[in-house]
Amino acid sequence: MGIKSIGSHLQVKGVRKQFGNVEVLKRLDLEIKPGEFVSIVGRSGCGKSTLLRLLAGLDVPTEGEVLLDEERVRGIHPDTRILFQDARLLPWKSVIANVQIGARNGDKARAEEALRLVGLEHKAKEWPSVLSGGQRQRIALARALAGSPRLLLLDEPLSALDALTRIEMQELIERIWQEQQFSAILVTHDVSEAVALADRIVLIKNGAIAIDIPVHLPRPRERNSDFAYYEKLILDHLMERGAPASVLAVSP
């Protein structure tokens, strides 16, 4: 039986987050439609990782609410999976046992299928210590996929990889997302990565949404002049070059 998924509908309504006297997020409103891939970019400390934690149910808003399929998020939802920068594999468990952790009821068949999806079924009996960094992230991705997620949250999962492995992982994530149709939210510092993967790019500055831009590029994406247009557009706002930031809907 294949791993099938239909994306979740995510709504952020008037969400504010405060730590002590510091307001990290300022009444955000955001909607991610079922099956959509959204990238969230911004400088360090802008609030994007805090937003991801709220979406995951790892933290609660000071004000406002996060809704997943019309229900308020209260803790990690069973249909949500998270892929972190660190693969976080258990070194005393084999590859297949690590992937089974993400499967409902530890279903070994689903774990094996998830390994096939990421092209590492031949590593099932190996130990994490013998894997490369890219292979460990593929195993972490398989662990997330084994749970048949409807929402996949990606917290800078490729930032520690070399350039070639990173591109390979981007292509793998894009292919599986297209096949499985889950909703995906990627937090990244890498503007090129955001353009390569996302249907929309949300830029957060000082705890607020500065721009929310749909990416009108065909898939698979080529790094051509249209691709460069989006990179420059995001970087100009990020670096505060050119026009003042506002919520936009633009196309090249």
Question: What is the phi/psi pair of residue 162, to 5°?
Answer: -70, 165
Q: Tell whether 248 and 156 lie within a shared domain.
A: yes
> End of a domain among 108, 127, 147?
147
**Which residues, other chains included, contact 28 with Cβ-Cβ below 8 Å and sequence gap of 6+?**
12, 14, 15, 16, 51, 64, 208, 209
- Please list the pLDDT of the chain residue by residue as tens digits (252 residues): 455 568 999 999 999 999 999 999 999 999 999 999 999 999 888 889 899 999 999 999 999 999 999 999 988 888 999 999 888 999 999 999 999 999 988 899 999 999 999 999 999 999 999 999 999 999 999 999 999 999 999 999 888 888 888 899 999 999 999 999 999 999 998 999 999 999 999 999 989 999 999 999 999 899 999 999 999 999 998 887 754 444 444 444
**Which residues, other chains included, contact 32 with Cβ-Cβ below 8 Å and sequence gap of 6+?**
9, 10, 11, 38, 183, 185
Q: Tell whether 135 and 13 lie within a shared domain.
A: no
Count of structural domains, the chain: 2
Q: What is the pLDDT of residues 112-155, one digit of tens each?
A: 999 999 999 999 999 999 999 999 999 999 999 999 999 999 99
Determine the structural domain holding residue 113 and report its residue range. 91-147
Does residue 85 lie in a domain region? no
Q: Tell whether 2 and 66 lie within a shared domain.
A: yes
* Strand pairing category for 71-72 and 63-68: antiparallel
Q: What is the CATH number of the domain that holds 32?
A: 3.40.50.300
Beta bridge partners of 72: 67
| Per-residue pLDDT at 159 | 86
Cβ 10 vs Cβ 182: under 8 Å: no
Task: Cite the beta strand spans of 37-168 per DSSP E.
Answer: 37-41, 63-68, 71-72, 80-83, 151-155
Does residue 5 lie in a domain region? yes
